[in-house]
Amino acid sequence: MFTSAHFFLWLASLIPMRDDALDPASLKELVRPVVVALICITYIFVSKGVKATFVNG
């Protein structure tokens, strides 16, 4: 079965890797937006203000 995780792994495998792709500056550029996204998504799901704003009906 082809799940979304498999799809993203396949998609990532299509991106060519450079020799210096895992240097500290590149890792920082990759990790920072992931951390920001995790914080924002968590806030959206947990925040009472967001739940009060987006109500059905």
Which DSSP string do the residues of the chain spell out, in sequence order? ---HHHHHHHHHHTSPPPTTTTSHHHHHHHHHHHHHHHHHHHHHHH-HHHHHHS---
Task: For 11-32, write each residue's pLDDT tens digit.
Answer: 888 887 777 667 788 788 889 9
> Span 38-45, mean pLDDT?
92
Note whether 48 and 54 are within 8 A (CB): no
Note the pTM of the prediction, 2 decimals: 0.54
Note whether 42 and 34 are within 8 A (CB): no
